Structure 1
Amino acid sequence: MRCLLILLLSLFIHTCPLHAAQPASSSRIAAVVNKSVITKADLTNRLRFAAISSSLEPTSENLERMQDQMLRVMIDEALQLELGKMYGLEIKKEHIDATIKDIEQSNGMPEGGIAKILNDNSIPLKTFEDQIKAQLVWMVYIQEKYPLKSLEDQVGRKQTAEGLPSLQVADWEIDQELKLLQEKEGKTQYHLAEIVLPCDTAAQEQNAKETLNNLVKELQKGANFAALAQQFSQSPTSSQGGDMGWLTEDQLEPEVREALSTITPGQLSDPLRISQGYALVAYIERKLPNKEGELLLTIDQVLLPFPQNVTEERAYEIMQVAEGISRSAKNCHALDKLTKQKFPTAAIRLIRGEPMNSFPEELQKVVTPLEINQPSPPLLTQDGALLLMVCERKTHKAMEFTREDARANLVARKHNLLARRELRDLKRHAFIEIRM
């Protein structure tokens, strides 16, 4: 199974009261959230945008499968926007525009690319702007309600001048976090991404598991993991397309550790029951412990696969295609682009920062004489025609972490926990009526 915009902060999903459907006069309403209304048109537009941005066909069947989960996300966002109004938290249009521009840049899109996609598919730009606004409002709310206090302010004080609780980070916490960061270099690390659907009831558990199973099917068909995580995941990592970064085994939940032992880089886990709810984990790559001064390689690996029972003639044809790609590609980006054009079913994998001695001896012999951005000639393997290109060579230098790095990690972690608790309380006291 193959897997695999930037924003800022999102989380949550919690219990909400379900009420009987209303008369036909309210048939265009999907949900009522306090004084806000989510229309069926709003929901449909959001579903269509989620499908298109995730490379899913926006068929009625696909949209219906995602409907319940998306409505829960939109209910959370309605509560966040309402809270922002209550506290006078204004998100200016230029901030939203700047965030959209950042998203476009991080995805290699031209400026205005998202607006064009929305316009081409008759989806209002407001559909995406409201999603961004809710996340920005929530981030500002949490940071302003729980400001980080300086050490001198922390001594003997637990409230801000306005009577609001402050965020406190003790010296011993920073010491412990800094120690963990420094020890990380000497351990195997795993680059993972996640889609998390929290659940508080048996009904929500069943819905979360079914949703993730459906997403697995779509990912197998070529859907984009990062885009799905952005639209559906309710973990703080959703703002980075589900990217969890590099983690050591002792930073993972037991269920995730166990799943990693059964899959390899480039694969997905089955839906996992974790502490927050249900999760789908993408295993992106693994990094072995590095030594100071060790040679690290970043290699682009392209395989043009042979079909089953391949004939000698067909194998020769595929090798010739690989030869043409090798002659034309001038760098790693061009190699990937040309391969996708010439051989759409090719498997492309970027191996980042791996020690030279971690590669098989045969592969070391191939890549050692290659210059940076020089492709290898096609290599005949049992599985197909293999091309290799060295994108980068560097000598490993151990990262130096500071107390400020440790402090920033702790602040982000505490804000995320507080945000989850705040939204849970907000939702518990809200009037939520689902009319689907």
Structure 2
Amino acid sequence: MHRLIALTLILGCLTATPVLAQDQQRIVALINDEVVSQRDLNERMRIIMATTRLPDNNPEILRAVREQALRSLVDDRLQMQEAKRRNINVSQQDVDAAIGAVERQMNIPPGRFDEFIRRGGIDPTAVAGQIRTELTWSRMVRARTSAQTSVTEQEIDEAVAKLRANVGQTEELISEILVPVDSPDQEEPQRQLAQRIIEQLRGGANFPALARQFSRGTTAVNGGDVGWVQRGTLNEEIEAAIAKLDKGQLSEPIRTVGGWQIVALRDRRRISLPGIEENRVTLKQLLIPLAAEAPQAEADAAIAKARQARGEIRTCDDVEPVAGRYDAPGSGSLGTLRMGDLPESFRQAVAPLDINQTSEPVRATRAVHIFTLCGRQEASGLNRNEVRQNILSRRAELMAQRYIRELRRDATIEFR
């Protein structure tokens, strides 16, 4: 109880007493013989409280903040020790650019970050130190990923094919906070912490700030930004929760392998390839006429007929002969067209096709169409180097998780 009262005074930025000043010299942890002092811990707690705007009068929140602050300090020490061993550094210019990004995330006027931090009773150099550690760690992970992995042209081809295959499907833009559970006794306290974080977010707290301080996930350094994700790429519990959300909503705590996860749905859209509207495609079509007000039975029959014809088309050269057998006037070459000029339903049908592949039937106002792709001219929007970088980024996330586990495993950590 006395410790919680002291922490409340510290976080309230009241004048420190001589006893508190003396307490600040106390060692709270040794990380490979490197000291973490009470002052370091207090400063990190101030950072968390100021950047997340969590209330400083709740003992349970303060206890969770202390645990998170100590955990992050341990990881920071391990990461910077490894950076020193590997002779990896970041420049002051890099740190300044990152501070500018934080200002934008938190709606702080440019150049006013130090002033904002000082209002919370925080030493700006402590914040800059934390940001420097995040940047250094990111650089180390990238370097290790580049050294240990390479992306083949076949992998890029497979990724591009998957992008095309997913055109027209739904994807979501999400952010996440992972509240870790490292032992069974943390299960309920960490669930309660996740619930309180959700309450703070719904009350207007800044998501990126909370993610930076509380999330154990690899996206924490980016404010919890996961980016656009496709259906089927996340675990079932998370996908089920996201499916129930509307744009701008938060999930309840979701139990995953690593702990309790919070997901924010920022946007939802249909998948399209970058720059797909500027791509040019050479097409042939087979067209089954259909009356504008045709009953559903006639439409179904036309679709079945088109699907049967599709099964007989192996290459573009087959389209006209097959159209003749199916009495399909108006079929044949459409020439080379800009994808952006096609109706949306046609574009979705054509986009995932490979050369000489034929689409599923598409019903229009007066016909059922199937399209055979005879050629494609890619615009500059689908950049193979960008695809390569996305593959490397996903690998870097997995590498970061393994890397910090290795550092913790090999370290000598003593708490006092």
TM-score bucket (shorter structure): 0.5 to 0.7
Q: Which of structures 1 and 2 has the bigger CA Rg?
A: 2
Q: Secondary structure at the match of 2:232?
A: helix
Q: Is the 8 A contact 1:84 1:138 kept in 2?
A: yes
Q: Deviation digits for residues 5-61 of structure 1, max 9, x if unmatched?
A: xxxxxxxxxxxxxxxxxxx99983332211222222222222222222223233363
Q: Is the 8 A contact 1:272 1:279 kept in 2?
A: yes
1:284 aligns with 2:283: no
Quote the residue 1:217 is aligned against.
199
Quote the residue 2:389 is aligned against.
408
Q: Is the 8 A contact 1:193 1:243 kept in 2?
A: yes
User: Compared with structure 1, are the counterparts of its residues 143 and 191 closer, same or farther at alpha carbon in structure 2 (3 Å cutoff)?
Assistant: closer
Q: Is the 8 A contact 1:178 1:402 kept in 2?
A: no
Bigger CA drift: 46-55 or 200-209? Answer: 200-209
Quote the residue 1:273 is aligned against.
255
Q: Secondary structure at the match of 2:178?
A: strand
**Aligned ranges 1:50-69 → 2 under 5 Å:** 50-59=48-57, 61=59, 62-69=61-68
Q: Where does the alignment leave 5 or more consecutive residues of structure 1 unmatched?
A: 1-23, 149-165, 294-356, 358-397
Quote the residue 1:246 is aligned against.
228
Q: Secondary structure at the match of 2:146?
A: coil
User: Compared with structure 1, are the counterparts of its residues 90 and 174 closer, same or farther at alpha carbon in structure 2 (3 Å cutoff)?
Assistant: same
% identical aligned pairs = 30
1:183 aligns with 2:158: no
Question: Partners in 1 of 2:415 and 2:98 — Cα distance?
Answer: 31
What number of residue pairs does the alignment pair up? 293
The match for 2:237 among 255, 259, 280 is 255
Quote the residue 1:426 is aligned against.
407
Quote the residue 2:16 is aligned against.
none
Give, as a single letter, the amino acid of the residue that structure 2 aligns with 1:286.
Answer: R
User: Compared with structure 1, are the counterparts of its residues 185 and 147 closer, same or farther at alpha carbon in structure 2 (3 Å cutoff)?
Assistant: same
**Aligned ranges 1:110-129 → 2 under 5 Å:** 110-129=109-128
**Aligned ranges 1:2-401 → 2 under 5 Å:** 28-59=26-57, 61=59, 62-147=61-146, 166-288=148-270, 400-401=381-382
User: Compared with structure 1, are the counterparts of its residues 217 and 110 closer, same or farther at alpha carbon in structure 2 (3 Å cutoff)?
Assistant: closer
Q: Compute the TM-score of the two structures, normalised by the length of structure 1.
A: 0.61
Q: Secondary structure at the match of 2:130?
A: helix
1:146 is displaced (CA, Å) by 3.7
- The alignment yields a C-alpha RMSD, in angstroms, of 2.9
Q: Is the 8 A contact 2:47 2:122 kept in 1?
A: yes
Q: Is the 8 A contact 1:142 1:418 kept in 2?
A: yes
1:122 is displaced (CA, Å) by 2.0
1:137 is displaced (CA, Å) by 1.7
Task: Say which structure is richer in helix.
Answer: 2
1:411 is displaced (CA, Å) by 0.7
1:105 is displaced (CA, Å) by 4.1
Question: Partners in 2 of 1:64 and 1:30 — Cα distance?
Answer: 15
User: Compared with structure 1, are the counterparts of its residues 95 and 400 closer, same or farther at alpha carbon in structure 2 (3 Å cutoff)?
Assistant: closer
Q: Compute the TM-score of the two structures, normalised by the length of structure 2.
A: 0.63
Give, as a single letter, the amino acid of the residue that structure 2 aligns with 1:113.
Answer: R
Question: Partners in 2 of 1:44 and 1:278 — Cα distance?
Answer: 26
1:205 is displaced (CA, Å) by 4.1
Q: Where does the alignment leave 5 or more consecutive residues of structure 2 unmatched?
A: 1-21, 278-343, 345-378
User: Compared with structure 1, are the counterparts of its residues 227 and 175 closer, same or farther at alpha carbon in structure 2 (3 Å cutoff)?
Assistant: same
Question: Partners in 1 of 2:183 and 2:98 — Cα distance?
Answer: 35
1:125 is displaced (CA, Å) by 1.1
Quote the residue 2:340 is aligned against.
none
Q: Is the 8 A contact 1:66 1:211 kept in 2?
A: no
Q: Secondary structure at the match of 1:236?
A: coil
Give, as a single letter, the amino acid of the residue that structure 2 aligns with 1:125.
Answer: P
With a CA cutoff of 8 Å and minimum separation of 6, indicate the structure with the bigger relative contact order.
1
User: Compared with structure 1, are the counterparts of its residues 170 and 399 closer, same or farther at alpha carbon in structure 2 (3 Å cutoff)?
Assistant: closer
Q: Is the 8 A contact 1:185 1:290 kept in 2?
A: yes
Question: Partners in 2 of 1:26 and 1:289 — Cα distance?
Answer: 54
1:191 is displaced (CA, Å) by 1.6
Give, as a single letter, the amino acid of the residue that structure 2 aligns with 1:414.
Answer: R
Question: Partners in 1 of 2:259 and 2:247 — Cα distance?
Answer: 24
Q: Is the 8 A contact 1:268 1:280 kept in 2?
A: yes
User: Compared with structure 1, are the counterparts of its residues 172 and 190 closer, same or farther at alpha carbon in structure 2 (3 Å cutoff)?
Assistant: same
Q: Deviation digits for residues 200-246 of structure 1, max 9, x if unmatched?
A: 43234444323212212322333222210111112222222112222
Question: Partners in 2 of 1:232 and 1:272 — Cα distance?
Answer: 15
Q: Is the 8 A contact 2:48 2:65 kept in 1?
A: no
Q: Deviation digits for residues 154-212 of structure 1, max 9, x if unmatched?
A: xxxxxxxxxxxx31223332222222233343111212110013444323444432321
1:254 is displaced (CA, Å) by 0.7
User: Compared with structure 1, are the counterparts of its residues 59 and 37 closer, same or farther at alpha carbon in structure 2 (3 Å cutoff)?
Assistant: farther
Q: Deviation digits for residues 277-334 of structure 1, max 9, x if unmatched?
A: 32111122222457987xxxxxxxxxxxxxxxxxxxxxxxxxxxxxxxxxxxxxxxxx
